[in-house]
Structures are given as structure tokens and as C-alpha cells.
């Protein structure tokens, strides 16, 4: 009996001891919903593990970038690879959506925080639905709450119904509590009134998104949001964006540790080695060149990348002016890549070392560094995205006053009840777009008021407002590529390069007989295994095949295409 008692005592002491030594007093037993809001917000642009979907497909389908291996191997080759297409779905659902839904469920006593969480969930659901179509929405992220691990796929129309309802309800809820939105890492500054304004402004975007498929509903939602309590974003100091830190690039290792402090989209387009920067597509380059856009050489730059840093954007030698000068002397000058091109084998004639003084100096000073080897001088004349857009602390754009002005301009062109006319909003949108670069990115020089006014004078709204407005929106959304792709498909402007008229490279995979630019991404293959019933219903609504050439619900009309070679020739004559 004594032995038993002693044994029992030892067992109790042992259990108590093990519990004590295995309890980390620095860790909370439950997660603060505000901490989960921080995680979900930062993941939006800060998760390097999902950015391959952007680099491989979204930035290619928008024809912002072309010529690098990833964008040309996947988007350029019209090659569907599940492991690349599924990243945004898997990571956003597994981390962002799961945290948001859990935090929403546990924050009913924090009205302001709860509303902010729900607003960001609405934003993320729109982003995912715009990429894939019908998606799990109203039942998503509920497995830890009610055990449902096989959520239904809401139709995209139902997703948008949910978004409008949530944004309106959240705007009304904000300011009804005294809790602080302490997990806010955006420019909204934890202020309920700023989040209310942001929610109203998102309603404008999503109302315009459905304007072709449900025009009366779109008009009603747009005008309601425009007149809602709290107002809308109307100036640059009210822009909504996520704030990131000037932290070293951590690439996939950082994402594994859920380290989302740096802007991972910037990291991704910077590239993981000196041979993989993001080259500006000829479509974007030539449109801007044709319109004499003062942003062109603030966005597209030529660099010698050979010995650049891989933890930040240092070590790039900018030779843009030297390459332009070489072109003026009779050389090829700057030569952007077409969709599907590869910088390393779609040959251009690189300059002699002596034609580019910086290159000549580097080769002389450091002959063993290889600055003029492996066709690098030819790569040097391919324009890449300026490193100003790749810095770790670049903002993660949510919605800006520039976008609002373009939305108001298009609404006015449709005859909707908005203050002001098409021209005034269009011109205000251009001015605000230029200031986005001046305010948020360390571009080589600020765009002057004189440059802006000259550009507006040369590019009036014209007799096709839908085209002119949405061409400007397309340029604006370069740093928000998911919105750029969504609005491009919705508006069908600008006309982009017809992929079917361009060569098919033999060294890239090719399995899709339809080489036209896809209009959605396919669902992850694992959905067919683990959520088969709901997946099959969604695929049936697509016509029985998970076809990435099948347009989503709000995408009513065919995209406008053009012959990029003829377009390029017309502006270079």
C-alpha cells in the first residue's frame, strides 16, 4: 500500500514536472485575433512560397513580364503545371483564410477587430475567386470550428453576394466598439473610420467587376457605396496598402517560418539569382513608349546583374542611359522580350564592351567576374523591372485613390450617377497614378508636374473611354498584378499580344493545343481527391472540364488581341 502510494505520489510529481518543463511561459495558450489579422495581412504580399504563381502565370498573362525562365516556361508556353498554379490556393487557404476564419469566430466581443478581419477575408475571397472562379467561401476554413473539412464551392456570383454583404455589414459595425485594431499593419493606422472608408471603396471595385454580367446590380452597388456613411478613398493620403519592413530577402526559408515581414512579390520579381530578373514584356514596354509615358524608364531599366546581391537589391549596375545612347548611335538599343521569348536564346546583337562605358570599366577592373561572358551583354539590353519595385519595404497595394478615379471615370462613361465627368476623373486618375510611383517607390527621379500634364495632353480619354481608362488602370496595377489580371479580363483592354501569332519554342514544355492566353487557373489536383464531390460540382459548372480557357462568371466578353510585332514596328518607324 505504501509502495502504491509512493508510486502514485511519484507519478503525480512526475506528471506535474513534465507539464511544467514542457510549458513555454512565453507562448500564449490562445492566439490573439489581432495577431492572426497581422499574419493574414502580411501574407497577402509577404509569402514567398505562393509568389511563384504570380511570377509563372499572373504577371505573364497580364503581359507585364516576359523573357525570364519561369514566366516563359509557364505563361509564355501556355503550360499548365499544378504545382505552380496551386500555390496561391494552398497557401492562402492554409494560412490566411484559416487564421481569419478562426479569429472572426473568436472576436465577436471586439467589433472593430472583427470587422477588419472580415473585410480582409472578403478581399482574399475576391482575389481567389477572380483567379480560379467558383471557390470554397462561406464554408472555408471551418474545419477547426465545426469539423467541415470538405467545404462546398460557392459559385462566383454567390461569392460576390457574400463580399458585398460582408463589406456593407462591416462598414456599419466599425466604430461600434472601443477595441483597438492592434493587428493592423496597413496604412489605415488601426482607425475604424479608415477601415470603413476602405470597405466602401472595395465595394466600388467589385461593383465594376460585375458590371458586364449584372449591370443593374453593379450600378446599384456602386452608387450605394459611393454614398455610404464614411465615404470612400479620395486622396493619396487615404490609400490602402500593407506595410512591409526593409528586411533581408529570405526566399522560401522565410516563408517556411511564416516570416512575411518583407514584400515577397518584390523578392520574386527581383529573381533568385543574377540570371533570373523579371524582364519587362514588349506589350507593356511598347504601349508606354507609344504613349510617351514618363513612367517608362522609371519602370523599365537596363542593368548589369552579374554580381548583384541576393539578400537585397544592391550590386546592380544601371546602364539604361548608356544602352539608350548606344541605340541612338545605331545599335539595337533596348530590346524587350515578346510573350514566350527567352532572353538567352531569342538572340539580339549585344553591344561591344566599348559601347557601354560601365561594362568596359567593370571588365577592365574585374576581368575574372565574367561581366561580358555567357551572352550577358545581350541580356543587359533587355529591360528589366527597376529595382525600385523589388525592395523589401515596397508597399503591398490594396486599393488607391488612382484606381478610384478610374472607376469613377468608367462609371461616368456608363451614365451612372457619380459626381464629375469622364474626363476629369480620367485625368485625375493619371495624376494620382504618377504620384503612386513618386510616393511609394525609390524611382530614379520623381515625375514632374510638367511631364504629367504633357502626358495627359497627348493621351486624352478619346472616343473609347473603356479602352483609354482601362489601359491606364492596367499600367497602374503593375504592382498589384492579381488586380491587373482581373481588370484586364473584365474590361478586355488594353488589347494584348495574340499568343497564337508568336513562335512556339521547342525547349519549353507544350501540351495545350490552344495557345491563346488562359483566362483562369485550374483547381489544385488534390481537390479532386480530398474534396471530390464539391470539386466535381464546380467542374461540371465549367462545362465538365477544368479548362483554363473557360471564362469566369463576370468575364463576359472575349479579350482584345493584337499582333505585337506589327504594333512594335508601328511605333519604331
Q: Label residue 215 by pLDDT band (50, 70, 90).
A: very high
Min mean pLDDT across 206-210, 400-404, 507-511 is at 507-511
pLDDT for res 28: 56
- What gap in Å lies between CA 275 and CA 278, rounded to an integer? 10
- What gap in Å lies between CA 455 and CA 451, rounded to an integer? 6
Residue 8: inside a domain: no
Residue 332: inside a domain: yes
Q: How far from chain centre, in Å, is Cα 7?
A: 62
Residue with the bigger pLDDT between 170 and 22: it is 170
8-state DSSP, 478: G
Residue 18: inside a domain: no
CATH of the domain at 402: 1.25.40.390
CB-based contact 137:148 (threshold 8 Å): no
Domain count, the chain: 1
Backbone angles phi, psi at 343, to 5 degrees: -60, -30
Largest Cα separation within the chain, whole Å, is 103
Q: How many CB atoms lie within 10 A of CB 367?
A: 10
Q: Label residue 3 by pLDDT band (50, 70, 90).
A: very low
- Spell out the long-range contacts of 286-289 with Cβ–Cβ below 8 A and sequence spacing 24 or more: 286/336, 286/564, 286/567, 286/568, 286/571, 287/471, 287/475, 287/494, 288/475, 289/571
- What gap in Å lies between CA 464 and CA 462, rounded to an integer? 6
CB-based contact 95:41 (threshold 8 Å): no
8-state DSSP, 50: G
Residues 6+ apart with CB under 8 A from 305: 274, 275, 277, 316, 376, 379, 384
Backbone angles phi, psi at 391, to 5 degrees: -65, 150
Q: Is a pLDDT exceeding 70 seen at residue 413?
A: yes
Burial of 42 (0-12, 13-18, 19+ CB in 10 A): buried
- One-character DSSP codes across 95-118: IIIHHHHHHHHT-TT-HHHHHHHH
Residue 11: inside a domain: no
Domain that holds residue 253: 33-573
pLDDT for res 466: 98
pLDDT for res 181: 98
Tens digit of pLDDT for each residue in 275-318? 789 999 999 999 999 999 999 999 999 999 999 998 899 999 99
Q: How many CB atoms lie within 10 A of CB 393?
A: 15
Query: Containing H/E element for 41?
Result: helix 33-46
pLDDT for res 29: 63
Query: Containing H/E element for 241?
Result: strand 240-242
Residue 1: inside a domain: no
Q: What average pLDDT does this structure show over 215-231?
A: 98
Residue with the bigger pLDDT between 524 and 271: it is 524
Q: Among positive and negative, which fits the CA dihedral 167, 431, 429, 409?
A: positive
Residue 79: inside a domain: yes
Q: Is a pLDDT exceeding 50 seen at residue 360?
A: yes
Q: Is a pLDDT exceeding 70 seen at residue 419?
A: yes
- What gap in Å lies between CA 61 and CA 492, rounded to an integer? 13
- What gap in Å lies between CA 6 and CA 205, rounded to an integer? 71
Q: Label residue 343 by pLDDT band (50, 70, 90).
A: confident
Tens digit of pLDDT for each residue in 120-152? 999 999 999 999 999 999 999 999 899 999 999
- What gap in Å lies between CA 84 and CA 57, rounded to an integer? 8
- What gap in Å lies between CA 468 and CA 461, rounded to an integer? 6
CB-based contact 78:514 (threshold 8 Å): yes
Q: What average pLDDT does this structure show over 431-437?
A: 98
Q: Is a pLDDT exceeding 90 seen at residue 229?
A: yes
Q: What are 346's strand-pairing partners? A: none
Of 285, 218, 360, 281, the C-alpha closest to 65 is 281
- What gap in Å lies between CA 319 and CA 376, rounded to an integer? 13
Report how far apart the first and last C-alpha atoms of the chain are (Å, whole number).
Answer: 103
- Residue 75 to residues 284, 408, 568: CA-CA distances in angstroms? 16, 32, 21
Of 395, 457, 547, 339, the C-alpha closest to 41 is 395
Residue 200: inside a domain: yes
pLDDT for res 279: 96
pLDDT above 70 covers what percent of the chain? 94
Length of the chain: 573
- One-character DSSP codes across 528-556: HHHSHHHHHHHHHHTTSS--TTSPPTT--
Residue 100: inside a domain: yes
Q: Label residue 348 by pLDDT band (50, 70, 90).
A: confident
Per the rule left: phi > 0, alpha: psi between -120 and 50, beta: everything else, 351 is beta
Q: Is the pTM of this model over 0.75?
A: yes
Q: Is a pLDDT exceeding 80 seen at residue 1?
A: no
- What gap in Å lies between CA 339 and CA 345, rounded to an integer? 14
Residue ranges with strand state E in 69-211: 135-136, 153-154
Residue ranges with strand state E in 60-143: 135-136
Amino acid at each position: 500500500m505504501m509502495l502504491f502510494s509512493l508510486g502514485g505520489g511519484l507519478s503525480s510529481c512526475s506528471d506535474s514536472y513534465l507539464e511544467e518543463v514542457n510549458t513555454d511561459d512565453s507562448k500564449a495558450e490562445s492566439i490573439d485575433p489581432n495577431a492572426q489579422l497581422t499574419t493574414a495581412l502580411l501574407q497577402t504580399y509577404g509569402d514567398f512560397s505562393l509568389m511563384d504563381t504570380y511570377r509563372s502565370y499572373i504577371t505573364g498573362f497580364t503581359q507585364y513580364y516576359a523573357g525570364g525562365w519561369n514566366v516563359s516556361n509557364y505563361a509564355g508556353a501556355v503550360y499548365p503545371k499544378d504545382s505552380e498554379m496551386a500555390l496561391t490556393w494552398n497557401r492562402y487557404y492554409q494560412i490566411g483564410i484559416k487564421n481569419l476564419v478562426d479569429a472572426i469566430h473568436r472576436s465577436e466581443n471586439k467589433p472593430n477587430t472583427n470587422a477588419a478581419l472580415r473585410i480582409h477575408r472578403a478581399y482574399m475571397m475576391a482575389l481567389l475567386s477572380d483567379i480560379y472562379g467558383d471557390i470554397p467561401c462561406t464554408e472555408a476554413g471551418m474545419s477547426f470550428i465545426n469539423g467541415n473539412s470538405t467545404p462546398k464551392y460557392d459559385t462566383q456570383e454567390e461569392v460576390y453576394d457574400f463580399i458585398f454583404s460582408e463589406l456593407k455589414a462591416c462598414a456599419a459595425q466599425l466604430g461600434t466598439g472601443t477595441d483597438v485594431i492592434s493587428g493592423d499593419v496597413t496604412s489605415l493606422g488601426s482607425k475604424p473610420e479608415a477601415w470603413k472608408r476602405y470597405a466602401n471603396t472595395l465595394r466600388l471595385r467589385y461593383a465594376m467587376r460585375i458590371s458586364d454580367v449584372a449591370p443593374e446590380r453593379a450600378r446599384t452597388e456602386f452608387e450605394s457605396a459611393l454614398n455610404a456613411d464614411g465615404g470612400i478613398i479620395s486622396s493619396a493620403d487615404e490609400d490602402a496598402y500593407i506595410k512591409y519592413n526593409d528586411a533581408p530577402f529570405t526566399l522560401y526559408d522565410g516563408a517556411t517560418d511564416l516570416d512575411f515581414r518583407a514584400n515577397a512579390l518584390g523578392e520574386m520579381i527581383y529573381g533568385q539569382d543574377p540570371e533570373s530578373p523579371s524582364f519587362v514584356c514588349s506589350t507593356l514596354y511598347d504601349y508606354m513608349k507609344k504613349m510617351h509615358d514618363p513612367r517608362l524608364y522609371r519602370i523599365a531599366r537596363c542593368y548589369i546583374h552579374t554580381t548583384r546581391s541576393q539578400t537585397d537589391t544592391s550590386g546592380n549596375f544601371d546602364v539604361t542611359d548608356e544602352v539608350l545612347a548606344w541605340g541612338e548611335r545605331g545599335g539595337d538599343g533596348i530590346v524587350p522580350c515578346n510573350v514566350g521569348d527567352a532572353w538567352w536564346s531569342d538572340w539580339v546583337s549585344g553591344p561591344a564592351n566599348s559601347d557601354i562605358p560601365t561594362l568596359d570599366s567593370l571588365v577592365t577592373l574585374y576581368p575574372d567576374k565574367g561581366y561580358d561572358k555567357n551572352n550577358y551583354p545581350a541580356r543587359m539590353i533587355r529591360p528589366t523591372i527597376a529595382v525600385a519595385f523589388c525592395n523589401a519595404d515596397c508597399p503591398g497595394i490594396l486599393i488607391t485613390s488612382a484606381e478610384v478615379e478610374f472607376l469613377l471615370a468608367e462609371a461616368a462613361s456608363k451614365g451612372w450617377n457619380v459626381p464629375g465627368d469622364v474626363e476629369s476623373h480620367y485625368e485625375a486618375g493619371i495624376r494620382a497614378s504618377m504620384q503612386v510611383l513618386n510616393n511609394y517607390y525609390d524611382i530614379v527621379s520623381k515625375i514632374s508636374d510638367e511631364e504629367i500634364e504633357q502626358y495627359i495632353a497627348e493621351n486624352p480619354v478619346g472616343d473609347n473611354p473603356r479602352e483609354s481608362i482601362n489601359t491606364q488602370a492596367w499600367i497602374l496595377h503593375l504592382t498589384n498584378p492579381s488586380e491587373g489580371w482581373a481588370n484586364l479580363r473584365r474590361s478586355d483592354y488594353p488589347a494584348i499580344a495574340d499568343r497564337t501569332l508568336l513562335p512556339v519554342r521547342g525547349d519549353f514544355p507544350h501540351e495545350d493545343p490552344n495557345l491563346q492566353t488562359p483566362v483562369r487557373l485550374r483547381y489544385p489536383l488534390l481537390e479532386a481527391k480530398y474534396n471530390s464531390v464539391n470539386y466535381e460540382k464546380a467542374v461540371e459548372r465549367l462545362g465538365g472540364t477544368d479548362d483554363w480557357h473557360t471564362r469566369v462568371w463576370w468575364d463576359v466578353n472575349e479579350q482584345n488581341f493584337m499582333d505585337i510585332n506589327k504594333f512594335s514596328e508601328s511605333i519604331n518607324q
